[in-house]
Amino acid sequence: MRVVFEGQKKVQELNLANTGHDTARYLISLIEIRMNSNGSFERISEPDSGQLFASKFVRFFPRSVTLAPGEAQLVKVQLSKTGQLQEGEYRSHIYFRAVPDIIVQGDLPRAKDSTTISVMLTPVFGISIPVIIRIGAPDLKVSLTDISLETKENVRPHLSMILRRTGNHSVYGDINIDYVSEKGKVTSVGTVKGLAVYTPNPFRAFNMELEKKPGINYHHGKLRITYTAQSKGAVTDPLAQAELQLH
Protein backbone atom coordinates (compact mmCIF):
# COMPACT_ATOMS: atom_id res chain seq x y z
CA MET A 1 0.00 0.00 0.00
CA ARG A 2 1.05 3.56 -0.67
CA VAL A 3 -0.47 7.01 -0.28
CA VAL A 4 0.29 9.16 -3.33
CA PHE A 5 -0.70 12.83 -3.66
CA GLU A 6 -0.49 14.24 -7.18
CA GLY A 7 -2.57 16.63 -9.20
CA GLN A 8 -5.38 18.25 -7.21
CA LYS A 9 -5.67 15.50 -4.59
CA LYS A 10 -5.32 16.94 -1.06
CA VAL A 11 -6.93 14.37 1.25
CA GLN A 12 -6.82 10.58 1.46
CA GLU A 13 -8.16 8.05 3.96
CA LEU A 14 -6.67 4.82 5.29
CA ASN A 15 -8.72 2.08 6.91
CA LEU A 16 -7.01 0.63 10.00
CA ALA A 17 -8.62 -2.64 11.16
CA ASN A 18 -7.95 -4.91 14.13
CA THR A 19 -8.08 -8.48 12.83
CA GLY A 20 -6.80 -9.97 16.10
CA HIS A 21 -8.66 -11.47 19.03
CA ASP A 22 -7.80 -8.81 21.63
CA THR A 23 -8.39 -5.09 21.95
CA ALA A 24 -5.38 -3.23 20.56
CA ARG A 25 -4.09 0.33 20.71
CA TYR A 26 -2.12 1.83 17.84
CA LEU A 27 0.11 4.88 17.86
CA ILE A 28 0.42 6.68 14.51
CA SER A 29 3.42 8.77 13.52
CA LEU A 30 5.51 9.85 10.54
CA ILE A 31 9.01 8.43 10.14
CA GLU A 32 11.80 8.79 7.58
CA ILE A 33 13.17 5.75 5.76
CA ARG A 34 16.04 5.10 3.36
CA MET A 35 15.81 2.39 0.73
CA ASN A 36 19.13 0.62 0.24
CA SER A 37 20.32 -0.67 -3.12
CA ASN A 38 19.33 -4.25 -2.17
CA GLY A 39 15.73 -3.20 -1.39
CA SER A 40 16.08 -3.23 2.41
CA PHE A 41 14.97 -0.27 4.53
CA GLU A 42 16.44 1.63 7.46
CA ARG A 43 15.24 4.58 9.51
CA ILE A 44 17.08 7.87 9.13
CA SER A 45 16.82 11.38 10.57
CA GLU A 46 18.54 13.36 7.81
CA PRO A 47 17.74 13.06 4.10
CA ASP A 48 20.22 11.57 1.66
CA SER A 49 21.45 13.74 -1.19
CA GLY A 50 18.48 14.35 -3.48
CA GLN A 51 15.92 13.00 -1.01
CA LEU A 52 12.97 15.18 0.04
CA PHE A 53 10.88 14.44 3.15
CA ALA A 54 7.09 14.77 2.99
CA SER A 55 6.52 14.95 6.76
CA LYS A 56 6.57 18.78 6.93
CA PHE A 57 3.70 18.96 4.48
CA VAL A 58 1.42 16.19 5.80
CA ARG A 59 -1.10 16.14 8.65
CA PHE A 60 -2.99 13.10 9.88
CA PHE A 61 -5.61 12.33 12.51
CA PRO A 62 -6.29 10.69 14.82
CA ARG A 63 -2.77 10.09 16.21
CA SER A 64 -3.81 7.08 18.29
CA VAL A 65 -6.56 4.52 17.90
CA THR A 66 -7.97 1.85 20.23
CA LEU A 67 -9.84 -0.93 18.44
CA ALA A 68 -11.76 -3.90 19.76
CA PRO A 69 -11.49 -7.17 17.81
CA GLY A 70 -13.08 -6.71 14.38
CA GLU A 71 -13.33 -2.93 14.68
CA ALA A 72 -11.95 -0.47 12.12
CA GLN A 73 -11.10 3.22 12.07
CA LEU A 74 -10.50 5.66 9.23
CA VAL A 75 -7.26 7.64 9.43
CA LYS A 76 -7.33 10.87 7.40
CA VAL A 77 -4.11 12.03 5.72
CA GLN A 78 -4.10 15.62 4.44
CA LEU A 79 -1.64 17.92 2.71
CA SER A 80 -0.66 21.21 4.38
CA LYS A 81 1.64 24.15 3.52
CA THR A 82 1.37 23.23 -0.15
CA GLY A 83 2.46 26.75 -1.15
CA GLN A 84 5.97 25.90 0.09
CA LEU A 85 6.35 22.86 -2.18
CA GLN A 86 8.80 23.07 -5.05
CA GLU A 87 8.89 20.67 -7.99
CA GLY A 88 10.00 17.16 -7.14
CA GLU A 89 8.93 14.08 -5.19
CA TYR A 90 8.61 14.15 -1.40
CA ARG A 91 8.42 10.95 0.66
CA SER A 92 7.94 10.00 4.31
CA HIS A 93 6.28 6.94 5.85
CA ILE A 94 3.21 6.80 8.07
CA TYR A 95 3.90 4.29 10.85
CA PHE A 96 1.22 2.30 12.70
CA ARG A 97 2.70 0.84 15.88
CA ALA A 98 0.75 -1.57 18.06
CA VAL A 99 1.08 -0.84 21.80
CA PRO A 100 1.13 -4.16 23.71
CA ASP A 101 -0.64 -4.69 27.04
CA ILE A 102 2.03 -5.19 29.70
CA ILE A 103 -0.39 -6.98 32.06
CA VAL A 104 -2.80 -9.38 30.39
CA GLN A 105 -6.27 -9.36 31.92
CA GLY A 106 -6.78 -12.35 34.19
CA ASP A 107 -3.10 -12.77 35.05
CA LEU A 108 -2.47 -12.68 38.79
CA PRO A 109 0.56 -10.80 40.20
CA ARG A 110 3.39 -13.19 40.99
CA ALA A 111 5.67 -12.95 43.99
CA LYS A 112 9.12 -11.64 43.08
CA ASP A 113 12.16 -13.81 43.76
CA SER A 114 15.05 -11.46 44.56
CA THR A 115 17.63 -14.22 44.04
CA THR A 116 16.94 -14.67 40.30
CA ILE A 117 16.76 -12.51 37.21
CA SER A 118 13.79 -12.85 34.89
CA VAL A 119 13.26 -11.42 31.42
CA MET A 120 9.91 -11.00 29.66
CA LEU A 121 9.98 -10.43 25.90
CA THR A 122 7.00 -8.55 24.49
CA PRO A 123 6.80 -8.36 20.67
CA VAL A 124 5.87 -4.98 19.20
CA PHE A 125 4.26 -5.06 15.78
CA GLY A 126 4.14 -2.21 13.32
CA ILE A 127 3.71 -1.40 9.66
CA SER A 128 4.84 1.61 7.65
CA ILE A 129 3.26 2.92 4.44
CA PRO A 130 4.97 5.39 2.08
CA VAL A 131 3.35 8.81 1.79
CA ILE A 132 4.45 10.42 -1.50
CA ILE A 133 3.80 13.96 -2.75
CA ARG A 134 4.54 14.65 -6.42
CA ILE A 135 4.85 18.19 -7.71
CA GLY A 136 5.51 19.04 -11.35
CA ALA A 137 5.52 17.11 -14.61
CA PRO A 138 6.71 13.47 -14.37
CA ASP A 139 10.10 12.54 -15.80
CA LEU A 140 10.83 8.84 -15.37
CA LYS A 141 12.77 6.16 -17.23
CA VAL A 142 13.27 2.57 -16.12
CA SER A 143 15.50 -0.18 -17.51
CA LEU A 144 16.36 -3.79 -16.60
CA THR A 145 20.07 -4.66 -16.78
CA ASP A 146 22.67 -7.16 -15.56
CA ILE A 147 20.24 -10.06 -16.01
CA SER A 148 21.57 -13.52 -15.23
CA LEU A 149 20.16 -16.97 -14.46
CA GLU A 150 21.73 -19.54 -12.15
CA THR A 151 20.62 -23.15 -12.54
CA LYS A 152 21.58 -26.08 -10.32
CA GLU A 153 20.25 -29.62 -10.02
CA ASN A 154 17.34 -30.11 -7.60
CA VAL A 155 17.16 -26.35 -6.93
CA ARG A 156 14.83 -23.76 -8.42
CA PRO A 157 16.43 -21.50 -11.06
CA HIS A 158 17.61 -18.20 -9.56
CA LEU A 159 17.15 -15.02 -11.63
CA SER A 160 19.08 -11.82 -10.81
CA MET A 161 18.74 -8.35 -12.30
CA ILE A 162 19.14 -4.64 -11.62
CA LEU A 163 16.25 -2.17 -11.94
CA ARG A 164 17.63 1.23 -12.97
CA ARG A 165 15.64 4.44 -12.47
CA THR A 166 16.29 7.96 -13.73
CA GLY A 167 14.14 11.07 -13.40
CA ASN A 168 12.20 12.87 -10.69
CA HIS A 169 9.75 10.11 -9.63
CA SER A 170 9.94 6.83 -7.77
CA VAL A 171 8.79 3.76 -9.64
CA TYR A 172 6.45 1.04 -8.37
CA GLY A 173 5.19 -1.98 -10.28
CA ASP A 174 5.07 -5.74 -10.83
CA ILE A 175 7.69 -8.04 -12.32
CA ASN A 176 6.44 -10.83 -14.60
CA ILE A 177 8.69 -13.54 -16.03
CA ASP A 178 7.68 -15.57 -19.10
CA TYR A 179 9.56 -18.54 -20.49
CA VAL A 180 9.48 -18.62 -24.31
CA SER A 181 10.37 -22.00 -25.83
CA GLU A 182 12.29 -22.38 -29.09
CA LYS A 183 8.94 -23.08 -30.77
CA GLY A 184 7.46 -19.85 -29.39
CA LYS A 185 5.27 -21.29 -26.60
CA VAL A 186 4.94 -18.80 -23.72
CA THR A 187 4.66 -20.00 -20.09
CA SER A 188 4.53 -17.79 -16.99
CA VAL A 189 7.25 -18.87 -14.53
CA GLY A 190 7.34 -16.06 -11.96
CA THR A 191 5.61 -12.94 -10.65
CA VAL A 192 6.50 -10.43 -7.94
CA LYS A 193 4.00 -7.75 -6.90
CA GLY A 194 4.79 -4.25 -5.66
CA LEU A 195 8.47 -3.80 -6.48
CA ALA A 196 9.67 -0.22 -5.90
CA VAL A 197 12.73 1.90 -6.51
CA TYR A 198 12.35 5.09 -4.46
CA THR A 199 14.05 8.41 -5.07
CA PRO A 200 16.88 9.28 -4.87
CA ASN A 201 18.07 5.69 -5.55
CA PRO A 202 19.30 5.23 -9.15
CA PHE A 203 19.01 1.42 -8.99
CA ARG A 204 17.92 -1.60 -7.01
CA ALA A 205 19.40 -5.10 -7.17
CA PHE A 206 16.75 -7.81 -7.20
CA ASN A 207 16.63 -11.59 -7.40
CA MET A 208 13.89 -14.21 -7.41
CA GLU A 209 13.28 -17.92 -7.86
CA LEU A 210 11.55 -19.22 -10.99
CA GLU A 211 9.08 -22.09 -11.12
CA LYS A 212 10.10 -25.48 -12.43
CA LYS A 213 7.28 -26.69 -14.67
CA PRO A 214 7.01 -29.76 -16.92
CA GLY A 215 8.29 -29.10 -20.43
CA ILE A 216 10.48 -26.12 -19.49
CA ASN A 217 14.20 -26.38 -20.17
CA TYR A 218 16.10 -23.42 -18.74
CA HIS A 219 19.03 -24.17 -21.07
CA HIS A 220 17.04 -23.48 -24.26
CA GLY A 221 14.68 -20.75 -25.39
CA LYS A 222 14.57 -17.38 -23.62
CA LEU A 223 13.14 -15.48 -20.67
CA ARG A 224 11.03 -12.36 -21.17
CA ILE A 225 11.08 -9.99 -18.18
CA THR A 226 8.38 -7.31 -17.96
CA TYR A 227 8.07 -4.55 -15.35
CA THR A 228 4.60 -2.95 -15.38
CA ALA A 229 3.04 -0.20 -13.26
CA GLN A 230 0.10 -1.29 -11.14
CA SER A 231 -3.26 0.07 -12.30
CA LYS A 232 -6.89 -0.56 -11.46
CA GLY A 233 -8.23 -2.53 -14.39
CA ALA A 234 -6.57 -0.47 -17.12
CA VAL A 235 -4.00 -2.07 -19.41
CA THR A 236 -0.77 -0.07 -19.41
CA ASP A 237 2.43 -0.27 -21.42
CA PRO A 238 5.39 -1.86 -19.60
CA LEU A 239 7.70 0.46 -17.71
CA ALA A 240 10.59 -1.72 -18.90
CA GLN A 241 11.13 -4.99 -20.73
CA ALA A 242 14.13 -7.20 -21.44
CA GLU A 243 14.96 -10.69 -22.68
CA LEU A 244 17.59 -13.23 -21.66
CA GLN A 245 18.69 -15.89 -24.14
CA LEU A 246 19.15 -19.25 -22.43
CA HIS A 247 21.98 -21.67 -23.15
| 168, 129 Cβ separation under 8 angstroms | no
| pLDDT on residue 233 | 63
| pLDDT on residue 147 | 98
Phi, psi of 56 (to 5 degrees): -70, -15
3-state secondary structure of 99: strand
| 77, 57 Cβ separation under 8 angstroms | no
| pLDDT on residue 74 | 96
pTM of the model: 0.84
Query: In DSSP terms, which residues pair with 28 in a beta bridge?
Result: 96
| pLDDT on residue 104 | 47
CB atoms within 10 A of CB 20: 13
Q: Using alpha carbons, list the distances in angstroms from residue 43 to 75, 95, 197, 205.
A: 23, 11, 16, 20
3-state secondary structure of 35: strand
Per-residue pLDDT of the chain (247 residues; tens, 9 = 90+): 889 999 888 999 999 998 888 898 999 999 999 999 999 999 999 999 999 999 999 999 999 999 999 999 999 999 998 888 999 999 999 999 988 765 544 455 555 556 677 776 666 678 999 999 999 988 999 999 999 999 988 899 999 999 999 999 999 999 999 999 999 999 999 999 999 999 999 999 999 999 999 889 999 999 999 999 987 666 678 999 999 999 9
Per DSSP, helices labelled H in the chain are none
| pLDDT on residue 148 | 97
| 37, 64 Cβ separation under 8 angstroms | no
